[in-house]
Structure 1
Amino acid sequence: MHQDLQGRVALVTGAGAGIGRETACQMAARGAVVCVNDLKDEFVAPVVEAIRAGGGQAFGIVQNIASREGIREAIQRAAEHGGGRFDILVNNAAWVRYQAIPDILPETVERMLDVGFRSVIWSLQEAVAVMDPERGGAIVNVASVAALRSAPNSVVYSGIKSGILGITRAAAAELGARRIRVNAVCPSAVPTEGTQRNRNAERDAARIARTPLGRLGTVEDIARAICFLASDEAGFITAQALTVDGGVTLTNI
């Protein structure tokens, strides 16, 4: 067990599965008190139980963060679990649908914006209110390589993830004086429950063939990057977008 996050209090949104779940587990293994957020207790409880079974500290926060009031409640409850302390925020939650331009529906856009974009803005506002101005804190936003290069049927998704990078840079500029670092990770497609519907053996093989490191990424790869950006090892890193993609975005093979 690493101890580079010892005693830190962290909230990971959308932590009931995939990248969020693995991030919560890795942060707990590094000594953080982790607040596991998701929509339903059936998603949250198994993650909390697994962390505690491994000797870590975790609390469940069942909360819909797709509103200003929801994300405020989640962060306030995380600070309460931390005895008034709040150090790390991981904005991981997302609701994703891929649609061709003629098929995009207003309700799809609104829900994707609420969960994946507006909640990030409101979370920044609330984090400023609860993070200690002397100790500071770390915020990591989960974006995507879709913010850097896009495919058909991803207008809304790519637009939101591109916006997350803009939010990350602007927030880093504004919050640096409060010792709050703000960074993003840009994962490529990794196998998770959420990406299963858009994957098949042929697509996976094509992605692997285009990737210099010759494999798909894993949730462990992404979580390690998030933990690094949240730790003191990244203490002079802010406003950055760390691409975790095996080299596929910036190469052409």
Structure 2
Amino acid sequence: MNTDEMNAPRVAVVTGAGRGIGAAVALRLARDGFHVVVADIDAAHTAAVVEEIVSLGGTGEVASFDVADRAAVQSWAADLLDRHGRCDVVVNNAIWIRYGALLDMTEPDIDRMVDVGLKGVIWMIQAVGKIMSDQGSGCIVNVSSPAATRGTQDAGVYGAIKGAISSLTWQMAAELGRHGVRVNAVVPGAVPTEGARMLVDDDGYELRRAKTPLGRLGKPEDLAGAVSFLASEDASFVNGHLLTVDGGLMVS
């Protein structure tokens, strides 16, 4: 890395950042001083998040691509490197969910869930891992779920994908750690975002709240704070860790 690249603003990328947890993470990383690439397949939502970042005194840019499209991800990463010369943090937050009994799940729904939720993370790690390895530093934060380790009604495919994300986090921590790249994950509890409420009703969230020892549901900002820590120098020796942010749900 040359002197100009070393002095360039740190760059963070958040996928699925058009709303909900992803948007909260993007805003927090902007407050932490990163230039934030707000990535989402929905350009309108990402533009609104970037506008908010700028209104708060930060800097950001829109990136509209489908993480399930490997060629699109690689093309975006090449352009990012050309324009910024670096990539410091990537948060793999994008997901596409359909809950339902495994016996009733359709092939198109399963394919889309795997394409976005698992392959999309792999494509992003392939694209940014080379950049980070070449610069000798970087932080990747994946998003897993309690469903990876707990039996959850109608979440067989989702839980399997998140189990794969947990495993991928550990494997990549070992593979990329030798190049100075840290790979960790956050494990959110119940967070009633706009998108999540399309899948879980009020009764479902009340059940989750009742099972949470802290007695409340999570907020997007709770996850944003956890990601902020993992991306910070305070976590410079944290690698291969799944940070649970669930109010104690996993131990209840």
- Residues 221 and 244, structure 1, Cα contact 8 Å, conserved in 2: yes
Identify which range, 88-97 or 193-202, moves more after superposition: 193-202
Residue 24 (structure 2) aligned to one of 11, 22, 25: 22
Q: CA deviation at 1:26?
A: 0.4
Query: Quick one: distance in 2 between partners of 1:201 and 1:58?
Result: 34
Cα distance between partner residues in 2 of 1:46 and 1:148: 35
Determine which structure has the larger helix proportion and give its number.
Answer: 2
Q: 1:13 aligns with which of 3, 12, 15?
A: 15
Q: Is the 8 A contact 2:86 2:135 kept in 1?
A: no
Matches for 1:1-253 after TM superposition, within 5 Å: 7-81=9-83, 83-131=84-132, 133-251=134-252
1:167 aligns to what SS in structure 2? helix
Q: For the residues of structure 2 that align with 1:190 and 1:120, how far apart are their CA atoms? A: 21
Q: Could you tell me which residue of structure 1 aligns to residue 4 of structure 2?
A: none
Give RMSD over aligned pairs. Answer: 1.5
SS of the residue aligned with 2:251? coil
Structure 2 gap segments, 5+ residues each: 1-7
Q: Which runs of 5+ in 1 are unaligned?
A: 1-5
Counterpart Cα distance in 1 of 2:42 and 2:198: 21
CA distance in 2, matches of 1:52, 1:80: 23
1:249 is paired with a residue whose SS is helix
Structure 1 residue runs of 4 or more that deviate by more than 4 Å after TM superposition: none
Count of paired positions: 245
CA-to-partner distance for each residue in 1:67-125, whole Å, 9 max, x for gaps? 211222333333344x2111111100000000112211111111111111001112111
Retained in 1: the 8 A contact 2:190–2:205? no
* 2:178 counterpart SS class: helix
Q: Give the residue type in structure 2 aligned to 1:19.
A: I
Write the letter of the residue equivalent to 1:59: E
After TM superposition, the score normalised by the length of structure 1 is 0.92
Percent of pairs identical after alignment? 43
CA apart distance, 1:50: 0.5
* In structure 1, distance between residues paired with 2:130 and 2:216: 42
Deviations 1:219-241 (A, max 9, x none): 00011101111111110001111
Deviation at 1:41, TM superposition (A): 1.8
**Structure 2: distance between partners of 1:10 and 1:78:** 11
Structure 2 distance, partners of 1:134, 1:44, is 28
Mapped to 2, the partners of 1:220 and 1:248 lie a distance apart of 18
Pairwise CA distance, 1:54: 0.7
Code of the aligned partner of 1:34: V
